[in-house]
Amino acid sequence: MNYSLGQKAQHYLTQLAECSETENGVTRLPFTAQHQRAADLIKGWMCEAGLSISMDDAGTLIGRYNAGEGKPVLLMGSHQDSVKQGGGYDGIMGIVLGIVALQAIQQRGIRLPFSVEILAFADEEGVRFPTALLGPRALAGTLDLDVLNRTDSDGVSLTDALRGFGANPENIPKLKRSPDNILGFIETHIEQGPVLEHEGLPLGVVTAINGIERHTLTFTGQAAHAGTVPMHLRKDALAGAAAVILEAEKLAIRIPELLATVGQLNVSPNVVNAVPGSVTLSIELRSPNDAVREKAGEMLQSYALETAQLRDLECHIERTYSQNATLCDDGLQQAIAHAIAATGEKVFYLPSGATHDASAMADLTKVAMLFVRCRKGISHNPAEYASDEDMGKAVDALIVLLTNLNQ
């Protein structure tokens, strides 16, 4: 059968989706039998692309196109693992599309002036062990080695899991690469959101991976009888929290680069006939612009304190987490934009709302990402889907990118 490149990618991904613990959706956790089966399939396709294959001691499968001794190397790839009952495209599609592009380059007899490594990282999602991004952090030299002692829900340590997979975790510090001679890291990934579909476009150039910060906020008032305490004598913690929730939404609608989400709310006593005495809520802010995000965080904190004062509530706020945005490299963004234009598609730029291997790779080298439209923006879900046509466009763009990349 004569497959188009997009059909070929789909065919590969269908086989990989079968390497799953669950029938419903894909559950492929790192260093499991399912991971091994997927790695074996990937190795076969890497061979067809003429790549030399190895696995490093962080469990990253590497397929290398060798342009010769001393030539610079372009790193590409993504993660093989999934969430529990996730989809068949998140991460793994980025590995497959890179391989299909290199197979086509090989078949067309094109010689690249630089080496290329396709990296199939073991663990991005952090589902099995309470840590993530093992492979890219090992390459960047940013891995906290203490995480190797962490255990999964069966009590198996990450060290033992790596050993069982044929890796030697003692060698992880030696995996740190020098950025010299690395051209950058390019990750192809499904968008995991609805923007490209809304725009009617198959591909997008990622400008940045959004920074994130999280706050935990507790309003304390006075729990009271809902029938006996008049409105002007209440200290309703939930009414105060509601004002902050709406302010967060208003702020994020007004500021173009900001996303704000209140996803968690604990109300006490949480009964139908009591004035809420205390409420704890989460506020999560994301933005490709760290200054915008941090300013918004401060504004919301001040708003919460003013609200508390106005309503005679106690307010405790803590910023519990923050992670800066990763900016994608301008030159690599341009190269991806040029490649998309060469496939006849409109060039569209968007930030990534989710974290990716590229964020950890940014500690080693310049990074860029190519996004592929996913149906209805659904991801981390068995319904996740990218079409043959869109993946074919992505492979075409990668071929242009690889054959035109200025070193």
Interacting residues with Zn ion (CB under 5 A) = 90-91
Nearer to Zn ion, 39 or 317 (CB): 39
The distance of closest approach from Cβ of residue 231 to Zn ion in the complex, given in angstroms and rounded to an integer, is 49
- Asked if 294 and 211 count as a contact pair (C-beta separation under 8 A), the reply is no
Nearer to Zn ion, 243 or 386 (CB): 386
The distance of closest approach from Cβ of residue 384 to Zn ion in the complex, given in angstroms and rounded to an integer, is 10
> Measured between alpha carbons, how far is 209 from 328 in angstroms, rounded to an integer?
8
> Measured between alpha carbons, how far is 265 from 377 in angstroms, rounded to an integer?
26
Residue type, 185: F
Nearer to Zn ion, 188 or 287 (CB): 188
The distance of closest approach from Cβ of residue 316 to Zn ion in the complex, given in angstroms and rounded to an integer, is 35
> Measured between alpha carbons, how far is 374 from 88 in angstroms, rounded to an integer?
11
Cis peptide leading into residue 269 (ω within 30°): yes
Nearer to Zn ion, 32 or 355 (CB): 355
Nearer to Zn ion, 90 or 152 (CB): 90
Instruction: Count the neighbouring beta carbons within 10 Å of the beta carbon of residue 163.
Output: 15
The contacts of residue 94 (CB under 8 Å, 6+ apart) are 76, 77, 78, 79, 187, 188, 189
- Asked if 53 and 62 count as a contact pair (C-beta separation under 8 A), the reply is yes
Taking the CA of residue 245 as centre, how many other CA atoms within 13 Å lie in the half-sphere pointing to its CB? 16
Nearer to Zn ion, 236 or 357 (CB): 357
The distance of closest approach from Cβ of residue 371 to Zn ion in the complex, given in angstroms and rounded to an integer, is 11
Residue type, 23: E
Residue type, 242: A
Instruction: Kindly tell me the burial class for residue 229, based on how many C-beta atoms sit within 10 Å of its own C-beta (0-12, 13-18, 19 or more).
Output: middle
The distance of closest approach from Cβ of residue 338 to Zn ion in the complex, given in angstroms and rounded to an integer, is 25
62: left (phi over 0), alpha (psi -120 to 50) or beta: beta
The distance of closest approach from Cβ of residue 342 to Zn ion in the complex, given in angstroms and rounded to an integer, is 26
What secondary structure does DSSP assign to 187-208, as a single string? EEEE--SSHHHHHT-SEEEEEE
Three-class secondary structure of residue 397 per DSSP? helix
The distance of closest approach from Cβ of residue 91 to Zn ion in the complex, given in angstroms and rounded to an integer, is 4
The distance of closest approach from Cβ of residue 92 to Zn ion in the complex, given in angstroms and rounded to an integer, is 9
- Asked if 159 and 152 count as a contact pair (C-beta separation under 8 A), the reply is no
Q: Which residue is nearest to Zn ion (CB)?
A: 91
Nearer to Zn ion, 90 or 396 (CB): 90
Nearer to Zn ion, 80 or 301 (CB): 80
Taking the CA of residue 99 as centre, how many other CA atoms within 13 Å lie in the half-sphere pointing to its CB? 30
Nearer to Zn ion, 159 or 359 (CB): 359
The distance of closest approach from Cβ of residue 250 to Zn ion in the complex, given in angstroms and rounded to an integer, is 31
> Measured between alpha carbons, how far is 81 from 96 in angstroms, rounded to an integer?
13
